[in-house]
Amino acid sequence: MTPSEGVGRGVESVLEMLESLLALGGMVLLRDSVEWEGRSLLKALIKKSALYGEQVHVLGCEVSEEEFREGFDSSINSRLVYHDLFRDPLNWSKTGEALPGGPLEALRALCGRTDPGPITVALDSLSWLLLHLPCTTLCQALHALSRQDPCPGKQVRVLGLLHEELHGPGPVRTLSSLAQAEVTLSGAMGQASAHILYRRPRQHPTHQTQWFSILPDFSLDLQGGPLLEPQPQPDPHTPPVDPTNHLTFNLRLSKKEREAKDSLALPFQFSSEKQQALLRPGPGQATSHIFYEPDTYDDLDQEDPDDDLDV
């Protein structure tokens, strides 16, 4: 297989994975950061769903409807139903344009929809919802939305954008456990990449990384990754540098120093001559004896001399 065929098969596998993300129901979690924004990828997936002929419901929290629809052509916009939480999220104006029940009622209303055929629900963003709803309440609503009882010809998939840096590890792990697929955005040298974690039922999770760019019409352009600058290779003829050359102390011993070290008798080490001198006193040295006089109350048992110790 040639390198070009390998790249082609890799792109096809990623395309199949992206297709499967949209073809199956469940939740797709898009995790972005300050350096690598994820709204463009969210809109690219929305466009893909709309091209399949699906109805797309967008819960818009962070940008206006006009800004979100910008870049889509009329055929895509005709399939978008925008639920506006950006203009008046708490319904302070009382004009009737805002969603009366707030974000939670908007999610519950999406759960109760009976649109024929598969639908896509895009949440822009989960971070905004986490700031206005308890994490447990949001997760229960997402679970009810993405795990509805499948009806013939009807599937519900949820695309959730999460600004990962705004939250602690607890909410991120909780939302991650609800998702069938996670797309973590990163990049290098100005080119974006998506690390895709795909959880299939009764199978091991699949990991894959794809480099991509998003065109002005929100089409995905899959790429092979940035070209890394070659690293300079060391010259094999150059002698290795000795790290001990410029030290202020010496790590090596000369032959004379090593002999002096080996011949040194340490004070806590007994030579055989010293041991014999201690154990066998020579002539003229006083020997010691131990004299023991039993006490009146001593109970000496010759058969069990340790009876008083209770052992």
Q: What angle do CA 162, 164, 170 make, to 5 degrees?
A: 100
For the stretch 29-73, pLDDT in tens is 999 999 999 999 999 999 988 988 888 999 999 999 999 999 999
Domains and CATH numbers, the chain: 11-183 (3.40.50.300)
Rounded Cα gap, residues 16 and 14, in angstroms: 5
Between the alpha carbon of residue 94 and those of residues 64, 99, 102, 253, 304, the distances in Å are: 18, 10, 12, 88, 99
Rounded Cα gap, residues 40 and 33, in angstroms: 13
pTM: 0.65
Angle between helix axes 3-23 and 39-51 (nearest 10 degrees) is: 80
| 114-140 mean pLDDT | 88
Which pLDDT band, with edges at 50, 70 and 90, does 15 fall under? very low
The runs of H, that is alpha helices, within 147-244 are 169-178
For the stretch 177-190, pLDDT in tens is 999 889 999 988 77
* DSSP state for residue 85 in the 8-state scheme: -
Helix H or strand E encompassing 40: helix 39-51
Phi then psi for 154, rounded to 5 degrees? -125, 130
For the stretch 211-263, pLDDT in tens is 888 889 998 887 766 555 555 666 666 777 777 777 787 778 888 988 888 88
Rounded Cα gap, residues 226 and 283, in angstroms: 91
Q: Is the peptide bond before 125 cis (omega within 30 degrees of 0)?
A: yes
